[in-house]
Structure 1
Amino acid sequence: MTLLQPLQLRGLLLGNRIAVAAMSRMQANDDGSVSEDMPAYYARYAAEGAGLVITEAIATDDVAARAYWRQPCLSRDSHVEGWRRVVDAVHEAGGTVFAQLQHGGRLCEPGLNPSHLAASEGAASGSTWQTGIPNASAREATRQEIDAIVEGFAAAAARACAAGFDGIELHGARGYLLDQFLSASTNRRTDAYGGDLAGRLKLPLRVVRAVRGAVGRLPLSWNFSLYKMDDAAYQPPGGREEVQAIARELVAAGVDILHVTTRKLVRAEPWGEPLALTLAKAVGGTPVIGNGGLKTLEDAEAALDSTGCGMVSLARPWLANPDWLRRNQRGEDVLAYEPGMERRPLL
């Protein structure tokens, strides 16, 4: 089975091609520091055979980035030591771990941050996923605030390096801030950071270049999706060509890995092929990780064959079964994910 074979990923030797995707657990300390159980929580996935572990989204600043209460952060130097304990625990268990960095933008919980910023003024539709209250209207980020956002990502990435992470992932998916700037439905700016695709790409590319400068040769992944937390049906106005242009620009700016998040990895987009395959064709030679709707080893193996991905990631199956890989290998029953599992104690 190809899925269980080792993989060279941008200089890292992984034991297999199965990753634990980022999962919001909401159990850091109130100040964003690593809680007591987090090192053992992440190390358990490595001990159970995951080829790569990606942390839950880590907030990049204390001004406007935190998306949910008790989200972990790398916004202060004091956060580094806790993450070093996480990294050391994963390494001791034989694993590899990436830090996923995020700015929540307009999807942040109301009242959580001193400022509520977005690509453009307005509120996301519906309610927040953590507390279930209506999303609040956000303010369009100024040029000065955009500069601070870029600096926040770079500083958080430098702290992740100091903590010993094996790689960095930028959360550019699901309607959070980087995706808000990238998407025509959420970016209605009339300055240089909006308008056509080149304008919408300006902030994401600035962040990539700044983070690349902060981390040197450390592997850099970009988490990409079409769907948003508040817009499951979003499609880019330029269709397939726009998606491919985005991928090429990200790679040219310094992204090493594209991590594609979908509702169903093997499902064809309106242009007739899976999103991951479209991206893989656009950036031949750049590793693509695929995520979406996978539950079994057989699902994941079939996805490798049909989507152009070199690796897959799963979230809910790992959450419901920390020993998901071993259960599959032994042919044992796998527990189904139940809503609310992410709120249970980490261990």
Structure 2
Amino acid sequence: MKTPFARFRWIGFSFLVFAFVLFFGINWIKSAELKKPSKKVLRASWKIIQESLTSNDSKIREDAVKALELISSESAVNSLISSLRDESDYVKIWAARGLARKGSSAGKETLLSILLSSSNNKEDAAGSLAALMRLRALARGRVRGEAAKVLGMINDPELIPVLKEAKRDSDGRVRDGAAVALAIMGDNSETIVFSSALTDQDKGIRLAAVEALESIKDPNSLDVLLHVVGDPEEEIRNMAVRALGGIKSEKATEPLTRRLTDQSGLVRESAAWALGEVANPIRIPHLKASLSDPNVFVKLAAAEALGKMGDDSGLPVCEEALNSNDIDARIRAARSIGYISEKNAQSLAIKTLNDGNEKVRLAAATSIFRQLKK
């Protein structure tokens, strides 16, 4: 029979064991948690973004401007404003979008200038010159349409007459861009028009409509998009999947999960991304299965999606891609680790700041600032 003193010793011992386990358990968890990057790392990341803003490659400047959206500082805003003077219209458009997302309309005049510009086609051009002029007109129409969409994000009522006028433009891409802008500003009739066009027999019309709905992100278009996600055309399926990801409705979870086994790698990649946007934990096992997909970009999209839901099991896939010779895979992997809230993901991002490729370094710097926002 135990004496009261013996029982006391046993209780005391049990308490010490419990305290020991609790203390070291908590510290073990904390050691694995994502910590704020050091000032040295943040300075190095900022320097990479600033250098990328002056790159000779306009695509790199575009990505650098997009990275600035993640940074909450006066310096980031000033850099976006400076980028409104870039020689590339797309850099200007993404800079204006970044400012709009930060609540600034500083890019409005720049966007209007792009929207109201037009290609100077020579009516008497023939042969190869005529073909070149058509290509330029196509590119010009596309960029003007994108400018119109971003004007919608500024949500200034004074822009409505301009956008309505743009809906009568001779270029279909400009008309669609203006309609998207009006829908973003609250005109529900535009969403109805685009939704109706999804049943058209013409592939081009269906594609333009689903691209518009992807930009609008109106939950009212959910049901029609759920139907189009099974379209026979790869491009349309892919854009419908991305549109569903943008709406982020759990109603889309099952249809998106089925697309993880689509015959198209592009659609499977978008499906994994979209499931990460919906963020329904019940699909984690399906996304983990996609980590073994034969397509590296599907695997990386699944790793990113899992990261958004607090699961770091895709980190080895990212690390493997970063050690490959495939530049595009390394860029995507460097971006994906920004969504993984785990100490080793941050360490990997810091290591990748020294990659030999400028685009990979920029993606890693972007991930550092994305992790900082978590």
TM-score interval for Structure 1 and Structure 2 normalised by the shorter chain: 0.3 to 0.5
TM-score, normalised relative to structure 1: 0.34
Q: More relative contact order in 1 or in 2 (CA 8 Å, sep 6+)?
A: 1
Instruction: Flag the structure with higher strand content.
Output: 1
TM-score, normalised relative to structure 2: 0.32
